[in-house]
Amino acid sequence: MAYEWWYMMSKATFRIGLSGHQQLGDEVTIQFVSQQLHDLLATYQQMARDKGQGIVACSALAIGTDQLFVKTALEFGIPVEAVIPCAKYAEIFSAPETLDEYHRLLSSCQNVHSLPFDDCSEDAYLAAGHWIVDHSDLVILVWNGYPAAGKGGTADIASYSRLVGRPFVHIHTRLHTVKQYGSLTGPKVIHEAAKRRYAISKETVYQGSVLTVNKYQMRMPNGDMIERDIVERPESVLVLPVGQKGTVLLIEEYDLGAETWQLTIPGGKVTDLTPSGIRKQAEIELREEIGYRPGRLEKLLDFYSHPGYVAHKVHLLTAYDLEWEPLEMEDGEEIRVHTFTLDEALAATRVDYRCDPEAALALWLYRESLSEPLSHSP
C-alpha cells in the first residue's frame, strides 16, 4: 500500500487511534493484521520524524487488536495513551493472564483517560471509540467490514469517523486488504447538514392553501453555492381508532398524487398546537371522517414526516372508547370506513402500495404497545 504524506499544519504531535475486533480469527489473519500494524506504525513514525513531530498511539487496551497495536507501538518506542471506558473495566479481563497483561500495558501508558461510566456497557464502549476518534488525527480500524453486532462495535466507530471527517485506514480482516478513507492532506471534510450550517438565504417560491415551497441557498466551505427546495406543511394530527374487541378502523381514500386508493387513518392539520388543541382537532377529525367521538386519546408518537425535503411535524394518537356522534364531512371527501382485526390490518401493511406509510407506522407502534409478543416482524 502506498501511504500518502499528510498536512499537519502546526501540530507538534501526530496522534494515531485504533479500534478493532477482539477476536481476529485464524492464525493467518492474526499474522496479516500484525504485519499491517507494524508497517503502518513504522511508516507514520518515520513521516513524523521527517516533519520534526512526535507521534502518539491511542487505544482502549482491549484484548485482541487493541493490545496487539499497543505492543507494536511500544516496540517502536511510540508513547501510548489509554482511554478506559468504565470504572470496572479490569473486571472484563476474566483470566488471570489477560488481567496481568492489561495491567502491564496500562502501566506502560504515558497518559490514562478514564470516562465517567461506572459499569461497562455498550454506551461506555461507544463513548471510548468516539473519544479515540475525537483525539486522533488518523484512526486505524481492524474490522471485518460487517455492521456491528452491538452498539459500540468497530463498524460504529467507522461510521463516526466518516461523520466527523476523520481519515481512517481499514485493515479488512476478511479480505486481507488495506484501504485508506479520507485525506490527510488538507482541510477536514465534515459531513453535516448543509441546511443547518451553511444556509444564507431563504425565498418562498410557492404559497398554497396547504403547502409552501421555500428555496434555500447554501454556501459550502469550498465556496460553491447550492440550492435546496423544501416543502413546508402545517403540523398535523393522525389518529388510529381502536374499536370493539381489539379491532381497528381504517379509512380508504383516493390518493390523487399516487392515483390509487390507499388505506390510511383519520387526520388533518392543526392550528392550535397546544396539547389540548391537538386533542380537540383529533376528535374533530375522527367525528368527520369515521363518525365516532373518542372517549380516550393516548399519544403514540410525535415525528417528522419525510424529513429532508418536507418540513412537517405529525402528532400520532390512538383513540379508544368510540361512540357514534358524527360531524358533517368536508365537501368533496369520499371516505370508506373499514373494520379490521389487528392482524388483518398489519397484513395490509405488507401489500405493495396498499397502506399509507404513516398508517402502517401507527399500526405497528400500536401492536408493539400491547402486552403480547409480536408474532411477525414488520
Residue 246, in any domain of the structure = yes
Same domain, 157 and 24: yes
Residue 271, in any domain of the structure = yes
Residue 376, in any domain of the structure = no
Distance CA 179, CA 75 (A): 24
Q: Which of 168, 123, 165, 155 is nearest to 15 (CA)?
A: 168
Residue 378, in any domain of the structure = no
The pLDDT value recorded for residue 188 is 53
Range of the domain at 331: 236-369
Same domain, 47 and 176: yes
29-80 tens-digit pLDDT: 999 999 999 999 999 999 999 999 999 999 999 999 999 999 999 999 999 9
Same domain, 175 and 201: no
The residue from 181, 214, 248 where one domain ends is 181
Residue 188, in any domain of the structure = no
Same domain, 275 and 311: yes
Same domain, 205 and 259: no
Distance CA 352, CA 4 (A): 50
The CATH number that applies at residue 161 is 3.40.50.450
Question: Is pLDDT above 60 for 6?
Answer: no
Cell of 269: 392539520
Distance CA 134, CA 147 (A): 21
Same domain, 110 and 205: no
Same domain, 209 and 102: no
Q: For residues 106 and 94, is the Cβ–Cβ distance under 8 A?
A: no
The residue from 118, 152, 181 where one domain ends is 181
Same domain, 140 and 207: no
Question: Is pLDDT above 50 for 3?
Answer: no
- 2 vs 289 pLDDT, higher one: 289
The pLDDT value recorded for residue 306 is 78
Q: For residues 316 and 365, is the Cβ–Cβ distance under 8 A?
A: yes
Q: Work out the average pLDDT over 351-370.
A: 95
Model confidence at 104, pLDDT cuts 50, 70, 90, reads very high
Same domain, 329 and 219: no
Same domain, 105 and 157: yes
Question: Is pLDDT above 90 for 204?
Answer: no
Q: Which of 69, 41, 72, 37 is nearest to 55 (CA)?
A: 41
The pLDDT value recorded for residue 187 is 52
The pLDDT value recorded for residue 1 is 36
Same domain, 96 and 245: no
Residue 279, in any domain of the structure = yes
Residue 19, in any domain of the structure = yes
Q: What is the DSSP string of 11-71?
A: -SEEEEEEEE-S---SHHHHHHHHHHHHHHHHHHHHHHHHTT-EEEEEE---TTHHHHHHH
The CATH number that applies at residue 307 is 3.90.79.10
Q: Provide the domain count of the chain.
A: 3
pTM over 0.85: no
Same domain, 169 and 199: no
Question: Is pLDDT above 50 for 376?
Answer: no
Burial of 234: CB neighbours in 10 Å, binned 0-12, 13-18, 19+: middle
The pLDDT value recorded for residue 52 is 92
Angle at which helices 27-50 and 65-75 pack, to 10 degrees? 40
Residue 164, in any domain of the structure = yes
Lowest mean pLDDT among 22-36, 61-75, 126-140, 205-219: 205-219
